[in-house]
A and B are shown apart, each in its own frame.
Chain A
């Protein structure tokens, strides 16, 4: 089955700096890669996603890149703000489309 690795597990940045979280996946047939943000006491919320026919996608301060050959994808947050502090999860959807496999999560702390 699919295996998704996520790094780093914790990330501390100064407000205004950029943050990068990286994931690798094992199943080359996976073709949908969402990123979720989980705030304390809440469920994960989708912040951005990318499909395998696209190499990069941007939404304001958030961007995601995908390298299908290397089976890597990354989340980039620019101009970080304290409200960006949360746990971020990457995920990959299997080829059958019926299951999301999550990475282990990254706790991002943005210091004011």
Chain B
């Protein structure tokens, strides 16, 4: 009965590889997000989707490509991974794009070696 679930929880990969992180929410929410948390715990938004449509892209390199096949899923594909991409990536969802609570997944710890 997990509300926002991400897979995998841990991902270790070499520089230059391409990898994907999947996210699904079973809350019936319209809006989903990807956040990046760096080693100093700073949480920064990367993307926001509302009903499968991109509404925010916070100057993220185009090596990062989100895909939303339906409003319950928002996957993150990363091409040509770099050392600086190492971080914890959180998926989140909220009922609408308005002033409502955001629910976070457990996070995916990505380590690029």
Contacts and interface: CB of A to CB of B under 8 A. Distances in A.
Interface in B46-74: 48, 50, 55-56, 58
Interface stretch (A18-26, A56-64, A77-85, A100-108): A100-108
A44 B94 CA distance: 14
Given A98-B31, A98-B55, A43 B105 contact: yes
A30 to B, nearest CB: 10
Contact of B97 (A34, A43, A98): A98
A107 B19 CA distance: 31
B99 A51 contact: yes
Interface of A: 31-32, 34, 36, 38, 41-46, 49, 51, 87, 89, 93, 96-102, 104-105, 107
Interface of B: 4, 31, 33, 40-45, 48, 50, 55-56, 58, 90, 92, 96-107
20 contacts: A32-B99, A32-B100, A34-B102, A36-B104, A41-B106, A42-B106, A43-B4, A43-B92, A43-B106, A43-B107, A45-B104, A46-B101, A46-B102, A51-B99, A89-B43, A98-B31, A104-B40, A105-B41, A105-B42, A107-B41
